[in-house]
A and B are shown apart, each in its own frame.
Chain A
């Protein structure tokens, strides 16, 4: 599935693909080192910690001895990752044995971190200047609100109540791949667009952020700077106010966009203005890791295919509408039914049954999430059955050959078709065969040569 790839691609791959010089530059910032360390697979973290105070290079063979035989594949993944990110530097010693050592910059920064403990990226502003800071709950509600508003705007530009100040060109970039627009028609969600909506918030966020970063060069911003700023942002404390004047020009520009995404909240006092990071921002470095992440669910599915979603969010309603029929909507409850028609609609849009089932399971209401299975089996089975119903007949364009002059010619033709991997059916008794349409021309050539 090619469309899934754009989503599953890790942000760290993006960091890893930066040129070596840029990477080394990044590691000068202690926060990046910490964020990178946290994003590593557990085994790789262990290796970094183990090598932290070893200055001499360690040979690959002796490192492999740390691992049990079962863990060799994990070990390989870990070391590959470390080399990709230039945390480990590969060298060969005189005996031509591969050895590894830590990136000196990275090492020094981490050592400092362990001895002095975590330091703040930026001093929060004293509370006598900042007035009426939002509470953590308010802040979280704000962040979610902002994010959903953005998503709504993304999928349906007309629907959002308050237009954000993200320039329409940037918005277009985000929409590229998710929406397809034919001339004079309203834009429609593409397959990956639908899948994007079913992903959980952090994955969505990273997708957007990644697009934002890869697009930065066009706006004249260095992607490395942007990455380092975003990672730094994740080490701020949620709910504290930070002075905007401490930011550079470019960062100040970026933070306005981030505010639209709900990553920070901007406030203004009499003289100063400040930004308050929300949970979305501080979670950024955490969600870098390929972790199994979960959030509080809201959907209850009953065995009678009825679905109750405890949500007041318009976005949730839109998402459910992708694969179910919304029956009625109460202030904080959406009642929907999963029907054959609604599912066929979803399948037609390129959503797979597995995605729907995973979505239902991941977003199960806490009261049903404790149960096993959280979504009734008859419902999940039926969803899969309906999907396979659509795949019962596979149409392949083909050509039919008969009346072969001799058995030899027939057999040679069969072998030839097999070689091209295009033989669909053969009947040796009556000397008939069917081949795929795309090798028809080759087949014809072949038969002509036989004559």
Chain B
């Protein structure tokens, strides 16, 4: 990297990593056309770049079968006019996006499988965190990073462990994960991600005003968040997904050796191989008589 001897940093310099859901299964059923969605997002990304000369935007595509870096504002000059009057952000992003979506659809055709409709959020989250870690390494003067998930597809229970790992890593590095969920039901993964990392979870009610939601809530830099009224959480779905059927459950059995979660009683733990003898117990049943209830 070129050394930047004279960097100037204000409080509100931010690095925004946007995870863009491009899952074709979701967009084919969505009431909001992808192109319209994209125009809102592009204006939003532009506004982030306009707010501060040093702001950086990275866009990672979350596809159905793959994830890819689509755009990084710091690697090209913002001003470069390429073909015609289209500025860099649009041309680069749109070109990469198109390639990515085509490649992604290709791999769907190779592996035609019904059932799961989810995108690979765990992959793009992991990539985003690696990128942010690189920014942290770059020295004491770096923009404040945050992640924004623009997600529409439903959660993929098979990614549960990976997503949780990513969330905890983000929490440890104090990187908030904001989520703007445009699907029909709430996403438990993103609710948890935002709750644990101190980000904002929002499910816009009116898709036509998406830009207003984005600019009002998600354009807020971390510094300003300390004195702005942001949407409060409307509950967090803390349900787990079981390891055996990948179902989301609110009550289940936990292996005492490895803490794997199962939706029904098994004889043997599929994760650690422990053999369970007796009927399931409740954790407190033995210690109950002894334990005083603290008031």
Contact = CB atoms under 8 A, between A and B. Distances in A.
Check if A and B associate.
yes
A118 B87 contact: yes
A70 B226 contact: yes
B54 interface: yes
A224 interface: no
Nearest to B5: A296
Nearest to B8: A293
B87 A291 contact: no
A50 interface: yes
A70 B54 CA distance: 27
Nearest to B43: A114
A370 B140 contact: yes
Interface residues of A, number: 48
Nearest to A110: B50
A279 interface: yes
B77 A70 contact: no
Contact of B215 (A34, A38, A52, A71): A52
Interface stretch (B25-33, B216-224, B285-293): B216-224
B136 to A, nearest CB: 15
Nearest to A366: B139
A65 B229 contact: yes
A115 interface: yes
A248 to B, nearest CB: 22
Given A50-B215, A68-B227, A71-B228, A42 B12 contact: yes
A223 to B, nearest CB: 24
A116 B6 contact: no
Interface in A100-117: 110, 113-117
Nearest to B3: A296
B54 A286 contact: yes
Contact of B7 (A45, A46, A140, A294): A294
B140 to A, nearest CB: 7
A53 B43 CA distance: 12
B289 to A, nearest CB: 48
| Most chain B beta-carbon neighbours within 10 Å: one of A42, A287, A292 | A42
A22 B40 CA distance: 34
B49 A118 contact: yes
A75 B227 CA distance: 9
A17 to B, nearest CB: 23
A49 interface: yes
Interface in A71-104: 71, 74-75
Contacts of A52: 47, 215
Contacts of A114: 43, 46-47, 50
Q: Which 5 A-B pairs have the closest CB atoms?
A: A71-B227, A117-B87, A291-B10, A42-B12, A293-B8
Interface of A: 34, 37-38, 42-43, 45-46, 49-50, 52-53, 65-68, 70-71, 74-75, 110, 113-120, 123, 136, 140, 201-202, 235, 237, 279, 283, 285-287, 289, 291-296, 370
Given A38-B52, A43-B224, 19 more contacts: A38-B51, A42-B221, A45-B51, A49-B47, A52-B47, A53-B211, A65-B229, A70-B226, A71-B226, A74-B227, A113-B50, A117-B42, A117-B46, A117-B89, A118-B50, A118-B79, A120-B79, A293-B8, A294-B7
